[in-house]
């Protein structure tokens, strides 16, 4: 079984089917994700994007098909077993600890990766002190990388939606994913803030070197970030390829992109966007 520090993972989905009652939420989807690649899933609400992430992470059980991670069939593994292989799943609502400070919430993430022995911490044994210093140093570096210094000692519940999402990205960086399943990272935040997430998401991928399967409703943002795009409709993948190819594919245009010309221009210009600055529009209760 591959470890969580073994480099970027390769994913292969073969003829995957997920049913709820008589509804096929995912209907025979096949796709590949090469090591270090970023693939975006786009499509209308109800097209099966999030259900596909749930199946890959183990939160739902497929009715048919296979899921291979680095060539190993993981279809029958529990979510925690997949997590041990480096599969990290994010959620749209940035599930954090509202009563903890930003620093403490990130330290909890570190404790999840490197649990400490209670007895050693209680008696402040030398190796335990070194471990705690190392964890705090890594958390401090991530806080700096994601420009969260102004919020280090502020409670999560006091932060704006945008800033909580930046903290969520920082926690993902600490998890050192090999395969990141990123679900709507810009949901519920202002358009200007969404554009500023582009360099942050790139920084996250550069820091971890992971492969990324991204679900994102903002098509220009998704196309800016991804190496390849997959357009889904009614549980099936109707188009796949580099963004410049997909944006002109008649099947993609009919399924989603052609709903209106504004869909592809919704985010405005993204190239040259600056890293997000939480201290401005992303701050506040």
Instruction: Give the separation between CA 282 and CA 285, rounded to whole angstroms.
Output: 10
- pLDDT on residue 119: 43
As a whole number, mean pLDDT of residues 138-162 equals 92
Average pLDDT over residues 194-211: 88
Minimum mean pLDDT among 27-36, 126-135, 232-241: which range?
126-135
Measured over all CA atoms, what is the biggest interatomic distance in the chain, rounded to whole angstroms? 66
Segment among 68-72, 143-147, 226-230, 265-269 with least mean pLDDT: 265-269
Domain boundaries, the chain: 7-86+178-274, 95-175
DSSP-derived pairing of the beta strands 64-69 and 72-73 = antiparallel
Cβ neighbors of 232 (< 8 A, separation 6 or more) are 29, 41, 42, 43, 47, 48, 49, 52, 238, 255
- How many percent of the chain have pLDDT more than 90? 54
pLDDT at position 17? 97
Per-residue pLDDT, averaged over 50-71, amounts to 96
Kindly state the percentage of the chain with pLDDT values over 70: 79
Domain 7-86+178-274 is in which class? alpha beta
**DSSP per residue over 110-163, as a string?**
HHHHS---HHHHHTT-HHHHHHHHHHHHHHHHHHHHTT-GGGTTSBGGGS-HHH
CA 189 to chain centre: 16
What residues have CB less than 8 Å from 168, skipping those under 6 apart?
90, 94, 95, 96, 185
| pTM as predicted | 0.80
Tokens of 202: 């790139």
- Rounded to an integer, the average pLDDT of 45-52 is 94
- Kindly state the average pLDDT of the residues 1-17: 80
């Amino acid at each position: 079984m591959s470890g969580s520090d073994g480099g970027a993972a390769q994913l292969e989905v073969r003829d995957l089917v997920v049913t709820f009652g008589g509804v096929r939420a995912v209907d025979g989807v096949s796709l590949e994700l090469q090591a270090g690649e970023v693939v975006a899933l786009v499509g209308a609400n109800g097209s099966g994007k999030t259900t596909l992430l749930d199946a890959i992470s183990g939160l739902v059980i497929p009715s048919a098909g296979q899921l291979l991670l680095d060539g190993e069939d993981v279809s029958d593994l529990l979510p925690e077993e997949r997590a041990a292989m480096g599969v990290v799943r994010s959620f749209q609502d940035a599930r954090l600890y509202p009563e903890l400070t930003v620093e403490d919430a990130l330290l909890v993430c570190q404790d999840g990766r490197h649990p400490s022995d209670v007895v050693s911490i209680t008696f402040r044994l030398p190796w335990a002190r070194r471990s705690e210093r190392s964890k705090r140093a890594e958390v401090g570096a991530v806080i700096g990388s994601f420009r969260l210094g102004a919020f280090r000692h502020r409670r999560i519940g006091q932060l704006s939606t945008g800033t909580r999402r930046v903290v969520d990205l920082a926690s993902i960086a600490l998890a050192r994913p090999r395969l990141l399943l990123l679900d709507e990272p810009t949901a519920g935040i202002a358009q200007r803030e969404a554009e500023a997430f582009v360099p942050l998401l790139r920084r996250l991928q550069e820091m971890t070197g992971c492969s990324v399967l991204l679900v994102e409703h903002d098509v220009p943002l998704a196309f800016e970030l991804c190496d390849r795009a997959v357009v889904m409709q009614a549980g099936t993948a109707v188009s796949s390829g580099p963004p410049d190819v997909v944006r002109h594919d008649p099947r993609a245009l009919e399924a989603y992109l052609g709903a209106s010309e504004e869909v592809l221009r919704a985010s405005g210009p993204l190239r040259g966007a600056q890293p997000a600055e939480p201290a401005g529009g992303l701050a506040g209760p």
